[in-house]
Amino acid sequence: MKAEEAIEEIEKLDKEYNFMNNISKDIAVEQEKERKKGKLSGYFISAKDCVCVKDVESRGGSKILTGYKPVFDATVVERIKNEGGIIIGKTAQDAFGFGSFSVNVGIGMKVPLNPNDKERACGGSSGGSAAAAYVLKDKMKHISIAESTGGSIVCPASFCGVVGLCPTYGRVSRYGLMDYANSLDKFGPIASNVHDAALLLEVMAGFDENESTSLKKDVPEYTSFVGKDVKGMKIGMIKEAFGEGVNSDVKDKVKKTIEKLKERGAEVEEISLPLVAKYGVSCYYLIAMSETSTNLAKYCGLRYGIMDKNMNIGFNEYFTKIRSENLNDESKRRIIVGTFARMAGTRDAYYIGAMKVRTKIIEEYKKAFEKYDVLVCPTMPVVAPKFSEIEKLTPLENYMMDIMTVGPNLAGLPHITVPCGESEGMPVGIMFVGDHLAEEKIIQAASNV
């Protein structure tokens, strides 16, 4: 399929599902003319709006960055182009990654719709990426670059019924990412199948001298683990992930899938992760909001994005005016909470305290991996909710949706979700979590679902 033909199809489908923030037709056509042969020859790649793509408007899902066109490609984008992938545009997301449903979009931006039921959410914050992966799966060879801070890859992939793979922190360079929380953010693929997710990770992974947290580790051929049998694999079933608050039908579908893995030779035992269950959500939000309050300080209408040419006011007034008018409510909420958590007088009690708990959570996971190859649980406690249901949730109830996904993100562990059945006519996801740099094991397990 030619780029122009692919873009026309995407434009038509986007009118129905709102999964794109920016479709870069002219740039995609130009890329096609200079296309290199490689692992991604024939693939069209969409990028979450927080990924820098040269000369393509990249807003991080927020009105405050309207008009910003990066002058460089993120490392992941550069590597994709070098392997023959064509970037087709930017997918919709919660502003700066702040949400579980992709309803916290920037002021004036569109909310992506779940392709299984347009009255329901896609999940967040990479909702557009997951919707694109589902909608385009029978139309073209497509994979999306997504990003996760606390579950923003696996949540929408689960809600839309596709595959989401979040790698080990540092496995993929973050150079060219509009950061939410630096110690948590990770790029990863969302695709229609495990093979394509493994393929894109294979291309994106590896050391990058431009990014200080990227790891100097060899990259395995992840696709070679797709379809490898699970006989003898030791799987820990997380007890707390099947408890109160998890939809009974979701639990049933995940447990039936685990039984199938046992039939294929996997050894499954129940395991308890009490610290993750009890403190994971509060620990995650304290750290993430503290880091985002500093990261978003640079969006003040001076260097890039929205500007007001009426400069006849002081900096403080200008800073306040630009941010008040162009940041949405959830962005403001997280900045305020994060600023409080890291202030003198509260920093030790909140931010530093949360970092200490994070260390304990990592230790709890590492102890589990002394015995098990992978851990397993439902990805999300419910299926994708209706927009009318989301409107009734308080911010705290909204944050609790991340109860399964924040643990591996806090610990920087690789995890993957794959569809494992339906409830209420909507997809249910099962999530596998691996030890650091054990992406091949979760790919192996997920490909047997």
By annotation, the residues acting in catalysis are 48, 125, 152
* β-bridge partners, 419: 429
Nearest to 190 by CA among 168, 164, 156, 172: 164
Q: How far apart are CA 372 and CA 230, in angstroms?
A: 13
Which pair of structure tokens corresponds to residue 337? 């909470």
Q: Which residues pair with 143 in a beta bridge?
A: 45
Q: What's the token pair of residue 39?
A: 């692992």
Q: List CB contacts of 185: < 8 A, sequence separation 6 or more.
A: 97, 147, 148, 149, 174, 177, 179
User: Do 45 and 85 touch, CB atoms closer than 8 A?
Assistant: yes
Contact criterion met (CB below 8 Å) for 131 and 190: no
239: Cα separation from own chain's centroid: 24
Q: What is the separation, in whole angstroms, between the first and last Cα of the chain?
A: 30
Question: Cα–Cα distance between 352 and 306 in angstroms, integer?
Answer: 34
Q: The tokens of 292 are what?
A: 């985002």
Do 340 and 354 touch, CB atoms closer than 8 A? no
Q: Are 215 and 204 in contact (CB under 8 A)?
A: no
SS3 155: helix
